[in-house]
Amino acid sequence: MSAYLIISLSIFVSAAAVIGAALFIVRGFTNDLTRAESDLANLALALQERTDGALQSIENVLRDVVGRIPQASLKADEFDRFAASNATKATLVGASHSLDQIIRIDLVNAQGRIVGSSNPHLIFDPIYLTDTSYYRALSTDTSLILYLSEPIRIRATGKRVLSLARKIKDTEGNFLGVIVSTIDLSHFERIYEDHLGTRSLAITLYRRDGIILAHSPNAKSAVGHRIWKPNTPLQRMIAKNSPTLIRDVSWIDKKERLVALYPLANYPGGIAVSRTVAELMAGRRLESRLIRFIAYLMDIAIDTVSLLGLKHVRTGILRAASESYLSRHDILTKLPNRLLFTEELKRTFLAAQRSGTDFALLLLDLNRFKDINDNYGHVAGDEIIQVVARRLRERLRRSDFIARIGGDEFAIIQRPIRGRPQITDLIMAIQAAMKVPCTVVNTEIDVGLSIGVAIASSDGKTSTELMRSADIALYAAKSDSNNSYRLYDANMKDSRTERRALEGALKSALENRELELHYQPILDLATNQMWGCEALVRWKHPTKGMIPPLQFIPTAEESGLIGPIGDWILEEACSTAMTWDLPLKVAINLSPVQFKCRDVFASVNKALNISGMPAHRLVLEITESVKLTDEASATLKRLKALGASISLDDFGTGYASMSYLRSFPFDKIKIDQSFVRGMTDSSDSRAIIKATIGLANDLKMSTTAEGVETEEQLNALRLAGASQAQGYLIAKPMPRESIAAFIADVQRAQQNNRDEQSPTRAIA
Ligand code: C2E
Ligand code: CA
Ligand code: CA
């Protein structure tokens, strides 16, 4: 028995060690490869920018010359004379000398004849260029302005050159001719040679159709041929014209290469930078042979183990192998996890610094994911995460990197980037993808994302700083209701630091009596009389002025201060209502957190006892975010038994409004302002309002429409059968003294009405 145990244990230990070593090597190799990929991509980007710039400066010279041609006064037959003049000749000579890489500049007339040149040699016989590709293209294609020719070898000098030609038109748009520059391609080859660091590196400048314009180090054999063999992935990728990485066997040296492609920004062509896969693997060849040998031994070991019936040893070995993968990946989405992400971010940061390129870090967070989990269950939540991961991944390039770094948090490294528009383009694409609801467990669920962005070149000196900036931007995006994404800027305050300061100030606000309640009248539509008021809290900050509740209630909730603040609101509102001339209702908002940190029944009871207000005047407003646990339902039922009413606030804005409504016998539904606002021009809003009122009638509940601002809305709501209306049209929320006066007026008006028996409006 003990020998058996020792054998199995020793096999297990050695096997696990071997597996560990093998995985370590494989992982090292994968890391090398990712690093090589991003280095190649970065180099391609850098060279693309330089090449584009070099072509741009030549084009600027041509433009400048064209700018001096008096196109307005020139007819086609006068162009020849103008071009041949001494003044024009001087211009052309000056222009061709302005850049080293320009060998000559010629003016060609509409018939294809050279009529002016920077060339010092005199021309005796007319030279026609009607056979050149640029003349043919520019004289026939009306929409074409610029043409990049295939490369030519000048027999006399052996120089490889290229023509960059621009069309010249008169002011009426007629074709006058062409200005063409002959460019020395060795200029580009010299730029590329500077970068030929490693042995197998190759750099190619190609035209959109695949023709090689410049090649380092094999200019002689490659230039003029196509970079791809027909019908290969390389041909398709070049036709696609977007940056990518691809593996391809080069026809030039017959070697398998990892190729980074980067199209030029302003010219029909691109840069390809490549290294042989063999070189990338070189340092690892010995190791990979070792791995193969080890794997062979392992197979024997596992077979022996299986033969011996030691199943548990076999499972143990396999588990050891998978644990290494698991520690760096997320099982649900198969994406890299936070650990791998942090490493990758560091690597990308260093690589970008080395190559002088830029990248963006995007942090993405699902909105209200907790609500989704609570309402639909964790299975649905998991499915949503997978759907989102898939949609995000589909929007990325191969050079980008994505990880799931938390429950509902993703991170993207967008690399390389060439300016902000590229980032916003990606964000727009992501947001467009998220507009489609996710269908999980047969339900369509809308999922929103908040995105915070930091840019490597400006928003952090280290990867840690960059991460912090992106995080601050994400927080800003989350707290900005109009914007689902934010780019970090140095003025952006860390809202968490701000929140901590707010929390401190809020604590003393209650003691310093800085909180006050305002009251907004609610109109009963059946009787046209005032039904009651909703109490709305405000913070009269000693320096910042009046702070609206949405700016401090969340902080109060997070810090638990909502407990004592909520108690104060209940007592203050009930006491104030007792001072009114009419026994109107008072509606008070309850936060979901109050149900967690307080005995809500006891708090309400205390407020009623202190104020002496009868319970039937009290209405408690809760939103769907109050989880209707058995305990919460019991509390609400006891409050109802006491005589208070319960309203469902902000109806229609939550995830499961309908099922929520049926889970408790509410007395009243408050239709959210967004539907009232949409009423006049959205048939959807009208339909929702109608359906809600119908449903409320069926369930014997009343309805209050919120946010009524126009007569039109009020009339429509009357017609639709709403029970009450609340909004600026009727009255804005007002402080304690004003509401008392307001109610006194209403009371007087009602008195007069009764006295005169005339039905005029009681309030307005
Ligand atoms: P709510 O419960 O939906 O309150 C209605 C909000 O709509 C109030 O904003 C009110 O001033 C505003 N409002 C009323 N009529 C109109 C209108 O015609 N047009 C527009 N545009 N707005 C109108 P307020 O006072 O800023 O309160 C915002 C939210 O803060 C409330 O939404 C509620 O969720 C929360 N809140 C306010 N007071 C309290 C409180 O005492 N306790 C708790 N827990 N939450 C409160
Ligand atoms: Ca409310
Ligand atoms: Ca509301």
438-442, 525-529, 727-731: which has the minimum mean pLDDT? Answer: 438-442
- Residue 281: its pLDDT value, please? 72
- Residue 618: its pLDDT value, please? 98
CA atoms in the 13 A half-sphere facing the CB of 61? 28
607 pLDDT higher than 50: yes
Give the residue, out of 522, 547, 589, 712, with the most ligand 1 atoms within 8 A of its beta carbon, to mutate for a pocket test. Answer: 589
Q: What percent of the chain has pLDDT over 90?
A: 46
Separation of CA 236 from chain center: 29
Neighbouring residues of 435: CB distance < 8 A, sequence distance ≥ 6: none
Q: Where are the beta strands (DSSP E) in 264-340?
A: 269-276
Q: Is 763 helix (H, G, I), strand (E, B) or coil?
A: coil
Q: What percent of the chain has pLDDT over 70?
A: 87
CA atoms in the 13 A half-sphere facing the CB of 368? 16
Local confidence band at 288 (pLDDT 50, 70, 90 cut-offs): low
Q: Is 724 helix (H, G, I), strand (E, B) or coil?
A: strand
Q: Is the CB of 650 inside a 6 Å radius of any atom of ligand 1?
A: yes
Q: Is 198 helix (H, G, I), strand (E, B) or coil?
A: coil
| Residue nearest atom 8 in ligand 1 by C-alpha distance | 536
Q: How far is CA 761 from CA 556, 571, 709, 751, 756, in A?
A: 40, 32, 18, 12, 13
- Residue 290: its pLDDT value, please? 63
Separation of CA 733 from chain center: 38
Full DSSP string of 421-490: HHHHHHHHHHHHHHHSPEEETTEEE---EEEEEEEHHHH-SSHHHHHHHHHHHHHHHHH-TT-SEEE--T
The whole-number average pLDDT for the span 40-51 is 81
Mean of pLDDT over the chain: 86
Separation of CA 155 from chain center: 55
Q: Is the CB of 727 inside a 6 Å radius of any atom of ligand 1?
A: yes
- Tens of pLDDT, residue by residue over 312-343, are 655 655 555 455 556 778 888 889 999 889 98
The whole-number average pLDDT for the span 385-398 is 93
Judge whether 312 and 242 are in contact, CB under 8 Å. no
139 pLDDT higher than 60: yes
- Residue among 116, 54, 108 at smallest CA distance from 82: 116
Atom in ligand 1 nearest the alpha carbon of residue 549: 30
Distance CA 603, CA 564 (A): 10
Local confidence band at 70 (pLDDT 50, 70, 90 cut-offs): confident
- Residue 77: its pLDDT value, please? 72
Judge whether 534 and 519 are in contact, CB under 8 Å. yes
Question: With DSSP H G I counted as helix, E B as strand and the rest as coil, what are the percentages for the chain, rounded to 5?
Answer: 50, 20, 30
100-104, 194-198, 394-398, 531-535: which has the minimum mean pLDDT? Answer: 194-198
Q: Is the CB of 649 inside a 6 Å radius of any atom of ligand 1?
A: yes
4 pLDDT higher than 70: no
Task: Specify the higher pLDDT residue, 672 or 44.
Answer: 672
Length of the chain, please?
A: 764
Q: Is the CB of 550 inside a 6 Å radius of any atom of ligand 1?
A: yes
Q: Is 617 helix (H, G, I), strand (E, B) or coil?
A: helix
Atom in ligand 1 nearest the alpha carbon of residue 650: 3
Q: Please report, as a single letter, which amino acid is at residue 77.
A: D
Local confidence band at 297 (pLDDT 50, 70, 90 cut-offs): low
- Residue 243: its pLDDT value, please? 78
Full DSSP string of 568-600: HHHHHHHHHHTTSSS--EEEEE--HHHHHHS-H
Q: Is the CB of 647 inside a 6 Å radius of any atom of ligand 1?
A: no
Task: Specify the higher pLDDT residue, 412 or 758.
Answer: 412
Q: Which residues of 228-241 are buried (b: 16+ CB within 10 A; e: fewer)?
A: beeeeebbebbeee
Local confidence band at 764 (pLDDT 50, 70, 90 cut-offs): very low
Give the residue, out of 540, 623, 706, with the most ligand 1 atoms within 8 A of its beta carbon, to mutate for a pocket test. Answer: 706
Distance CA 116, CA 109 (A): 9
> Which pair of structure tokens corresponds to residue 337?
């996890």
Judge whether 248 and 233 are in contact, CB under 8 Å. yes
Judge whether 83 and 107 are in contact, CB under 8 Å. yes
| Residue nearest atom 23 in ligand 1 by C-alpha distance | 707
301-310, 551-560, 658-667, 713-722: which has the minimum mean pLDDT? Answer: 301-310
Local confidence band at 31 (pLDDT 50, 70, 90 cut-offs): low
Q: Is the CB of 536 inside a 6 Å radius of any atom of ligand 1?
A: yes
- Residue 22: its pLDDT value, please? 60
> Which pair of structure tokens corresponds to residue 267?
């010219």
- Residue 174: its pLDDT value, please? 85
Q: Is the CB of 703 inside a 6 Å radius of any atom of ligand 1?
A: no
- Residue 170: its pLDDT value, please? 84
- Tens of pLDDT, residue by residue over 424-460, are 999 999 999 998 888 887 888 888 899 999 999 999 9
509 pLDDT higher than 50: yes
Backbone dihedral angles phi then psi of residue 433, each to the nearest 5 degrees: -65, -35
Atom in ligand 1 nearest the alpha carbon of residue 536: 38
464-468, 478-482, 506-510: which has the minimum mean pLDDT? Answer: 478-482
Distance CA 739, CA 726 (A): 15
169 pLDDT higher than 60: yes
| Residue nearest atom 37 in ligand 1 by C-alpha distance | 536
> Which pair of structure tokens corresponds to residue 685?
């809003």
Atom in ligand 1 nearest the alpha carbon of residue 562: 44
- Ligand 2 mean position to 370 CA, how many Å? 22
Q: Is the CB of 592 inside a 6 Å radius of any atom of ligand 1?
A: no
- Residue 639: its pLDDT value, please? 97
- Ligand 2 mean position to 518 CA, how many Å? 12
Phi-psi region of 368 (alpha: psi -120 to 50; beta: other; left: phi over 0): left
- Ligand 1 mean position to 650 CA, how many Å? 10
Local confidence band at 276 (pLDDT 50, 70, 90 cut-offs): confident
Atom in ligand 1 nearest the alpha carbon of residue 548: 26
Task: Specify the higher pLDDT residue, 313 or 98.
Answer: 98
Distance CA 725, CA 349 (A): 57
761 pLDDT higher than 60: no
Q: Is the CB of 733 inside a 6 Å radius of any atom of ligand 1?
A: yes
Neighbours of 45 (CB within 10 A): 23
> What are the structural domains of the chain?
338-493 (3.30.70.270), 499-753 (3.20.20.450)
- Tens of pLDDT, residue by residue over 243-269, are 778 888 888 888 888 888 888 888 899
